[in-house]
Amino acid sequence: MTQTSNATSDMTALMHEVAAMIVTALNLEMSPAEITPETPLYGEGLGLDSIDILELALAVSKHYGFQLRADDEANVKVFTSLQTLASHIAAHRTK
């Protein structure tokens, strides 16, 4: 396997893991497989609200070992979709 395909499979695995965490942390009545990389997390898509995002940020902090700050302007981008959240986790995780 090339380094690129390893990185792609690592990101795919991380997205599956994050999707499962979203479903579990927020008690969603859906399968993690139903969350595509492009599925919007806010509003249309999963329909999460600000309280859901706070709960998700807490779960990410516990599981991946870094803090997501509520006042961070990057949060709008970070929580755009499963793919943007997984990319942020991959870049900042300590666990």
Domain holding 8: CATH number? 1.10.1200.10
For residue 4, pLDDT over 90 is answered with: no
Q: Which residues of 41-75 are buried (b: 16+ CB within 10 A; e: fewer)?
A: bbeeebebeeebbeebbebbeeebeeebeeeeeee
For residue 93, pLDDT over 70 is answered with: yes
Count structural domains, the chain: 1
Task: Please give the residue range of the domain that contains residue 17.
Answer: 3-92
In this predicted model, which residue has the larger pLDDT, 63 or 8? Answer: 63
54, two tokens:
């706070």
pLDDT tens-digit map of 12-70: 999 999 999 999 999 999 999 999 999 999 888 899 998 999 999 999 999 999 988 87
**For residue 2, what pLDDT is reported?**
59
Residues 64/94, Cβ–Cβ less than 8 Å:
yes
Overall pTM > 0.95: no
**For residue 67, what pLDDT is reported?**
87
